[in-house]
């Protein structure tokens, strides 16, 4: 186990560590040696200062995304679940392959490859490889001790992959806003998602009715003449609509409202078709809609399970085309949620190097197996899921349908929280207490 550094942040003891894993897991088994090209898997082990020398059970955090790195905690309460988890566990925070400090993938990497090479490379950064990395970590660096998993959002997708491929490595699993539909189908997901996007926009305008006019004036301005963001990317109506990507979190309505509040330059900043758009507004839109490497490129391929009957072919764009209310010329303007579109890989400097690979991937039908429905049906690992009834990103009905076919699964359905409820102080504690009282954690303590 390679220790890179050891230190404290207020209320937490942290070890930074790293191991090597194969880029391509084909022909290799987690826990054993391997040959060929390797990449780094970086992870942190976090404990309460008073438990540094205690032999606590392990909890591994499966980060949301795709393409999301592990949390960088500022204190136990800066990410609410950690404060509760360190009372009971040593917490392992990996950076999933390609993110954070785990052989990060960005424009520098993609510029070296043509479309075919890039597509083959990106396929190595999906759930089947991520979970094999984690299982290799468990077997080689933690003595094969079984661990508890906590999966937020896409981390819940990874949880079902883990339970499909390596259920013997998991003592119990928790998921929050992250049970995928099995069988997986990107088009079906977006047919559920776009109506929720429209409802979220309507709720936003109901709370802040003055923003109906503001958004319309801004969109009309962007449609009439070219506007550039501070980084040189064009600010199109479609990119402006992507402010709605945050609408499934709290307090996203307020964040977007204050961005629009600063939009106009003249006089007292009231909405005016004649006013210039302020530099502050453009900077805020750029930051709020900034692309994260791997997050958008992999977005639709998290639904690709094994051999596909038909290519994905830009599922979100195809479904958007079925909903004229999302047209850039419609008023009131509808904002879009967590969905990627082909224009992003043409207009955005951070995504343009991914375009050749995306063109190939969108026509591909061969992917790794991420779910085994039969194994999930006979699952014996206790699984406790928080299902957010009004979740904008992961449809609650589809989550419950999947859970009805996963053995030994339990769920708590609530509309008290949005998709990011885990980051408060309540959700993980509730799930942990439920599992503890049911006896699901008996072998740990």
Cβ atoms of residues 263 and 355 within 8 Å: no
What is the model's pLDDT at position 222?
97
Domains and CATH numbers, the chain: 2-184+370-444 (3.40.50.1820), 186-361 (no CATH)
Q: What is the mean pLDDT of residues 369-388?
A: 98
Q: What is the mean pLDDT of residues 204-211?
A: 98
What is the model's pLDDT at position 291?
79
What is the model's pLDDT at position 1?
59
What is the model's pLDDT at position 293?
86
- Please give the Cα distance from 61 to 86 (Å, whole number): 12
- Please give the Cα distance from 44 to 239 (Å, whole number): 35
Residues 47-65 have pLDDT tens digits of: 999 999 999 999 999 999 9
- Chain-wide mean pLDDT for the chain? 96
Residues 308-350 have pLDDT tens digits of: 999 999 999 999 999 999 999 999 999 999 999 999 999 999 9
Q: What share of the chain is helix, strand, coil (3-state, %, to 5)?
A: 40, 15, 45
Q: In percent, how much of the chain has pLDDT > 90?
A: 95
Q: How does residue 292 score in pLDDT terms, banded at 50, 70 and 90?
A: confident
What is the model's pLDDT at position 445?
82
Q: What is the mean pLDDT of residues 202-214?
A: 98
Q: Which residues contact 347 (CB under 8 A, 6 or more apart)?
A: 233, 234, 236, 239
Secondary structure (DSSP) of 385-431: EEEETT-SSS-HHHHHHHHTTSTTEEEEEESSS-TTGGGSSSHHHHH
Hunting for tokens 């079902």 — which residue is that?
Answer: 160
Structure tokens given for 97: 């392959």
Report pTM.
0.97
Q: How does residue 267 score in pLDDT terms, banded at 50, 70 and 90?
A: confident
29 φ, ψ (degrees, to nearest 5):
-120, 130
- Please give the Cα distance from 363 to 437 (Å, whole number): 48
Cβ atoms of residues 308 and 327 within 8 Å: no
Structure tokens given for 5: 């550094």
Residue 410 has pLDDT above 70, yes or no: yes
- Please give the Cα distance from 331 to 323 (Å, whole number): 14
Q: What is the mean pLDDT of residues 80-107?
A: 97
Q: What's the farthest any 2 CA atoms get from each other in the chain? A: 68
Cβ atoms of residues 163 and 381 within 8 Å: yes
- Please give the Cα distance from 153 to 178 (Å, whole number): 4
What distance lies between CA 284 and its chain's CA centroid?
22
Nearest-10 crossing angle of helices 186-207, 396-403: 140
Q: What is the mean pLDDT of residues 414-438?
A: 96
What is the model's pLDDT at position 93?
98
């Amino acid at each position: 186990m390679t220790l890179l550094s050891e230190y404290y942040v207020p209320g937490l003891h942290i070890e930074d560590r790293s191991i090597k894993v194969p880029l391509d897991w084909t022909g290799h088994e987690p826990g054993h040696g391997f040959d060929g090209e390797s990449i780094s898997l970086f992870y942190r082990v976090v404990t309460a200062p008073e438990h540094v020398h205690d032999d606590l059970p392990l909890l591994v955090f499966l980060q949301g995304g795709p393409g999301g790195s592990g949390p960088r905690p500022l204190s136990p309460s800066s990410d609410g679940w950690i404060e509760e988890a360190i009372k009971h566990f040593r917490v392992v925070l990996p950076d999933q392959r390609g993110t954070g400090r785990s052989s990060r993938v960005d424009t520098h990497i993609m510029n070296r490859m043509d479309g075919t090479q890039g597509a083959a490379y990106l396929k190595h950064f999906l759930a089947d490889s991520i979970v094999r990395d984690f299982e290799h970590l468990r077997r080689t660096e933690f003595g094969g001790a079984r661990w508890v998993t906590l999966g937020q959002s896409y981390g819940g997708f990874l949880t079902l992959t883990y339970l499909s491929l390596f259920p013997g490595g998991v003592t119990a699993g928790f998921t929050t806003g992250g049970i995928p539909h099995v069988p997986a189908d990107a088009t079906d997901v977006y047919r559920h998602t776009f109506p929720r996007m429209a409802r979220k926009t309507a709720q936003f305008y109901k709370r802040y009715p003055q923003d109906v006019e503001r958004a319309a004036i801004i969109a009309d301005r962007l449609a009439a003449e070219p506007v550039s963001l501070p980084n040189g990317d064009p600010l199109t109506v479609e990119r402006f609509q992507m402010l709605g990507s945050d609408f499934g979190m709290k307090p996203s309505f307020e964040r977007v409202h204050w961005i629009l509040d600063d939009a106009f330059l003249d006089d007292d900043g009231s909405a005016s078709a004649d006013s210039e758009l302020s530099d502050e507004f453009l900077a805020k839109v750029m930051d709020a809609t900034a692309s994260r490497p791997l997050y958008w490129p992999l977005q639709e391929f998290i639904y690709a399970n094994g051999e596909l009957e038909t290519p994905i072919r830009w599922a979100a764009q195809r479904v958007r085309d079925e909903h004229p209310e999302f047209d850039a010329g419609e008023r009131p303007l509808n904002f879009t949620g967590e969905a990627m579109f082909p224009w992003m890989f043409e207009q955005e400097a951070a995504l343009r190097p991914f375009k050749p690979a995306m063109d190939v991937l969108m026509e591909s039908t061969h992917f790794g197996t991420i779910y085994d429905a039969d194994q999930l049906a006979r699952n014996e690992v206790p699984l406790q899921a928080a299902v957010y009834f009004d979740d904008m990103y992961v449809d609650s009905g589809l989550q419950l349908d999947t859970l009805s076919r996963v053995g030994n699964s339990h769920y708590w359905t609530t509309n008290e929280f949005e998709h990011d409820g885990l980051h408060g102080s309540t959700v993980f504690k509730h799930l942990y207490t439920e599992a503890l009282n049911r006896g699901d954690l008996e072998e740990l303590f």
